[in-house]
Amino acid sequence: MESKPRILVVDDEESIVDSISFALEREGYEVQCAGSAAEALKALDGALPDLVLLDVMLPDRSGLDLCTFIRFLGEAPILMLSARDSLEDKVQGLEAGADDYLVKPFKFKELLARVRALMRRWRKCEEANTLQLGDLKLEPARRTIFQSGEALDLTLREFELLEYFMRRPRRVVTRDELLNRVWHLPTPAETNVLEVHISSLRQKLRDPEKKLIRTIRGVGYTLGG
């Protein structure tokens, strides 16, 4: 069964959050709520949601700062909500990384229409950028990786390493290239960080016999046969 699209609602006004959650859940979305930037960061510790509804005014941190941070994490669409309706405020929100800006108070019919529009737009973008190799499916924008339909829990560096491989399937990638492009280390570099991450990736990809990530002795590695 296909999972429901997940939306993170970040707002400290409980009445608004309850109303938004009810409206979204009735439309078939899975809703996660956060009343502060700190709670939002905990919710973002893992796969990004399919969409973020983000209030500009939060009790512990500016929503604009949080928006910029979310954009750094990945490419989840962001719809900012705010009582500030000046052109300058809207420009600040969009320049912080938001994809759309909705002024409070708003009609839920308009909110849902904008949510659906953003989801359609980003779904097309994700489909165009999804990487597929065998039973592996990697979505760079959402920082998610699936193997045979099952989501894998990778660290940020493991994800970046696997993404680098999947953009170069069946190509031999040297050790120095990986250290330089993924870790941004000068080469040659005396470190075993690459070998440690390769070992961890093999375990998570259920590749104990090293058939998926193959070692090319004296050169580097290759993904796929």
- Strand-pair partners of 139: 144
Q: Which pLDDT band holds residue 65 (cuts at 50, 70, 90)? A: very high
**CA dist 131 to 38, 136, 137, 208, Å?**
32, 8, 6, 23
Give the number of other Cβ atoms within 10 Å of residue 77's Cβ: 24
Q: Which pLDDT band holds residue 1 (cuts at 50, 70, 90)? A: very low
The domains of the chain, with CATH numbers, are: 6-128 (3.40.50.2300), 131-223 (1.10.10.10)
Residue 200 has pLDDT above 60, yes or no: yes
Q: Which pLDDT band holds residue 73 (cuts at 50, 70, 90)? A: confident
User: Averaged over 158-175, what is the pLDDT?
Assistant: 91
pLDDT digits (tens, 9 = 90+) for 17-60: 999 999 999 999 999 999 999 999 998 876 678 899 999 999 99
**Contact (Cβ atoms closer than 8 angstroms) between residue 62 and residue 84:** no
CA distance 45 to 70: 11
pTM, two decimal places: 0.60
Buried b (16+ CB within 10 A) or exposed e, 79-110: bbbbeeeeeebbebbeebbbbbbbeeeeeeee
**Of 187 and 24, which is predicted with more confidence?**
24
pLDDT digits (tens, 9 = 90+) for 125-154: 666 678 889 999 998 877 889 999 999 999
**pLDDT value, residue 5:** 86
